[in-house]
Structure 1
Amino acid sequence: MPVTRFSVAASLLVVAAAALPAQSATAAAAPMQVYGAWHCGNDACTWAKVRDMAEFDAANHWLVDRGDGRPSVNVVVLSFVNPLRLLNGTTDAGDAAGVPVGMNQQVVDYFTARGIRVMLSIGGITYTGDWDSALAQSGGLLGQKAAALASKLGVGIEIDYENSSSPNLTGLQAFVDAYRSAHPYDASGADPTARLTVDVAAGDRWLSGIDQYATAHWLTTGNPVLDYANAMVPNKQPSASTATANWQEHLDGKPTYSPPIPPLAPAKFTGSLYIAEGSQVRPECTDFANSVQRATGSWVQNAAPNGAGTSAGLLGFMFWAAEKPSTRGVTTVPPNGCTGGVGAGATAFSAPVPMPPLRQS
């Protein structure tokens, strides 16, 4: 079964945009600071073979050149590392010491040489059981190995642990503690290995345990432990009103849940959309003028804090996913390159490359 990113939400509340809390009329639109894409390689997120870099460039040049020589994104997240293989240091046909062989220094340097930050995502929904097993064995040792991998390649790490029913939060805390012992939080963003993020669901009603814990313990503005969260894509491309309703849930929190999910500061998360979905290349990839990102861009830049944080505007957008996110369906390989969608959006939103220091509150 291929690794997928689909967050299978129990339900999504569809709320008309007019029903959402009004944004501040006086706050200036926040500049996009995070504008990036997950990258699945050419084998549905396994990265199980070493790439020829000329072929890699032909398939992915749109990421580093929106048509005028400037990159289309400022961060690429290579997806996915299997947490159990990383813990055990597995070497097999597709992995070396627990790391997919395609996630090598040549691929990292391809992006960083152009000012694009690189991160590695550990997990994905197919590897949820392996997250459980690895955390049960030793969350701390897994965190140490993730930190060593970050040091070796000069990258950050994303936590993508999609256990919605019974996540091992004690083990996950041990992972975070071990990682931060090696790479302390760095508000300046100057140290790429210090960038540590977490994925949460599109809204607050799936992955609620991880969402609650991360928001309460790791994503506060007063004592941040993780840099930010990505509100992942739902199970299909949302409408503009559904997307903003989902993201608003993070801003509001869920005070009636037990334990309550606190509000999340706008400066502590991104919103996510599809660029390739099933048999369709989305307007996010090829047609910015008719895209959900264009329709939601003003909301993303002006979303007001509602109990956490002081500045308006989410950090920006993330897109799922570059090249070949599934064994069946469309890719973002030319002629489906995303300069007309992601690249045009980078220009429209003045997405900075390289990524600047992130707003902290």
Structure 2
Amino acid sequence: MRHRLLAVLGLLVSLLVPYAPAAAAAAEPGAATTPQVYGAWHCSDDACIWGRVRTVAEFDSMNHWLVDRGDGRPSVNLVVLSFVEPQKLLHRTNDATTVNGVPKGMNRDIVQYFTSRGVRVMLSVGGITYTDEWDAALAENATQLGLNAAAVASDLGVGIEIDYEQNTNPNLAGLQSFITAYRSVHAYDATGAKPAARLTIDTAAGDRWLIGINRKATADWLRTDTPVLDYANAMVPARQPSTSNAIANWQEHVDGKPQYSPPVPPLAPAKFTGGLYIGYGNSPMPECNNFAGSLQKSTGSFVQSVAPKGAGTSSGMLGYMFWAAEKPSSRGLGTQPPNTCEGGVGAGATAYGVPLPMPPLRQS
């Protein structure tokens, strides 16, 4: 009889509450917070090589949407130039596509194109293509790699993003040495006033890939009481997620994985962004050109109000990152004309009141 009564009660509950998203049930949302980071990874016109010097005029003709959403205001407050090859950075290589270890296209003119309009710039070191190069550079001299990255950051007036996508036995001791060396030159700066002091890391969309890197970063480098890195980016998954899948991935970071051995601790919502595609596939994406139908709109309530679950005190993730501006792949659409993103990314910046320039970031 008790089992039948419970079944009836369950049926009544299911009729009264036909849909309850898992992510929403995981944590009561708090007060909405405006996204502070609203940025795009940028791959130039050669699938992330940045192998040639471009004139500012030509670059602007392909990328003007980033600095003008249609009313003179930028569509983003951050651009991450992707990618620097770690071994070339370590050896300060000079070759057909590289000067002193940095791709030729990542130069002062391009940095100033963005910074003169109030858009922060960072360089991403690594990417999935350069995983082996990360391994080799860390094994050879992780400290020198960190010092070289710090010198480039000083020279160009940019921050550095760590994109080390080693899923199997990552060199965490080497990565620690890289970070320690970088911070010996550019100390953590909560005010955000010093561009070169901005040091971030990429993790997977959720907690089930890049587990070792994610665990180490969450436990030791992304703490709110003793911060070492500024924040993490939860990268895009293999394909554009649904609204519910995107939220579920991001909720994993907030919750952590206590069932893992060793466990992955929870991450403060204020210490990470969520990644979405804008240049992907062979047809325009709503995330690029239709904010009303986009994931940055449908996930907006969660991103602005997800409550902490054991780390941090303020509600809401740090914001969004979009993969990727201009031509991230030799196949499929990029975001160059006519497929520009004022109507998606730019409209989102307006809808959310994204601050320009980027303000000091929440610290808890």
Distance 2:163 2:169 in 1: 15
Output the amino acid matched with 2:185: A
1:56-75 superposed matches below 5 A: 56-75=59-78
Output the amino acid matched with 2:346: G
Distance 1:108 1:138 in 2: 28
CA apart distance, 1:89: 1.1
1:79-158 superposed matches below 5 A: 79-158=82-161
Output the amino acid matched with 1:278: G
Q: Say yes or no: does 1:236 pair with 2:233.
A: no
Report Cα offsets for 1:337-356 as digits up to 9, x if no partner: 10000000000010001000
Corresponding residue number in structure 1 for 2:223: 220
* Rg larger for: 2
Report Cα offsets for 1:76-130 as digits up to 9, x if no partner: 0000000001001111100011110000000000000000000000000000000
Q: Secondary structure at the match of 1:281?
A: coil
1:247-326 superposed matches below 5 A: 247-326=250-329
Corresponding residue number in structure 2 for 1:38: 41
Query: 18, 22, 27: which one pairs with 2:21?
Result: 18
Report Cα offsets for 1:312-357 as digits up to 9, x if no partner: 0000000000000001110101111100000000000100010000
Q: Secondary structure at the match of 1:299?
A: helix
CA apart distance, 1:274: 0.2
Distance 2:309 2:103 in 1: 41
> Whose helix proportion is higher, 1 or 2?
2
Distance 1:207 1:340 in 2: 33
Greater Cα offset, 143-152 or 270-279: 270-279
Q: Secondary structure at the match of 1:321?
A: strand
Report Cα offsets for 1:116-157 as digits up to 9, x if no partner: 000000000000000000000011000000000000000000
Q: Say yes or no: does 1:205 pair with 2:223.
A: no
Output the amino acid matched with 2:148: K
Corresponding residue number in structure 2 for 1:170: 173
Q: Say yes or no: does 1:191 pair with 2:194.
A: yes
Q: Secondary structure at the match of 1:66?
A: coil
Distance 1:353 1:29 in 2: 19
Decide whether aligned partners of structure 1 residues 17 and 198 sit closer, same or farther in structure 2, where only a CA change above 3 A counts: farther
Q: Secondary structure at the match of 1:55?
A: helix
Distance 1:233 1:19 in 2: 20
Corresponding residue number in structure 1 for 2:15: none
Decide whether aligned partners of structure 1 residues 300 and 17 sit closer, same or farther in structure 2, where only a CA change above 3 A counts: farther
CA apart distance, 1:278: 2.3
Identity over aligned residues, as a percent?
A: 68
Distance 1:327 1:194 in 2: 33
Query: How many residue pairs get matched?
Result: 345
Q: Secondary structure at the match of 2:21?
A: helix
Q: Secondary structure at the match of 2:322?
A: strand
Output the amino acid matched with 2:323: W
Distance 1:20 1:28 in 2: 17
CA apart distance, 1:259: 1.6
Distance 1:19 1:202 in 2: 17
Output the amino acid matched with 1:32: P
- Aligned residues of 1:17 and 1:241 also touching (Cα < 8 A): no
Output the amino acid matched with 1:202: A
Distance 2:268 2:242 in 1: 23
Output the amino acid matched with 2:147: Q
Output the amino acid matched with 1:184: A
Unaligned stretches of 5+ in structure 2?
A: 1-18
Q: Secondary structure at the match of 1:158?
A: strand
- Aligned residues of 2:52 and 2:104 also touching (Cα < 8 A): yes
Distance 2:151 2:23 in 1: 43
Distance 2:140 2:257 in 1: 32
Distance 1:211 1:120 in 2: 20
Corresponding residue number in structure 2 for 1:10: none
Corresponding residue number in structure 1 for 2:6: none
Q: Say yes or no: does 1:182 pair with 2:197.
A: no
Corresponding residue number in structure 1 for 2:330: 327
CA apart distance, 1:280: 2.8
Q: Secondary structure at the match of 2:299?
A: helix
- Aligned residues of 1:17 and 1:244 also touching (Cα < 8 A): no
- Aligned residues of 2:22 and 2:248 also touching (Cα < 8 A): no
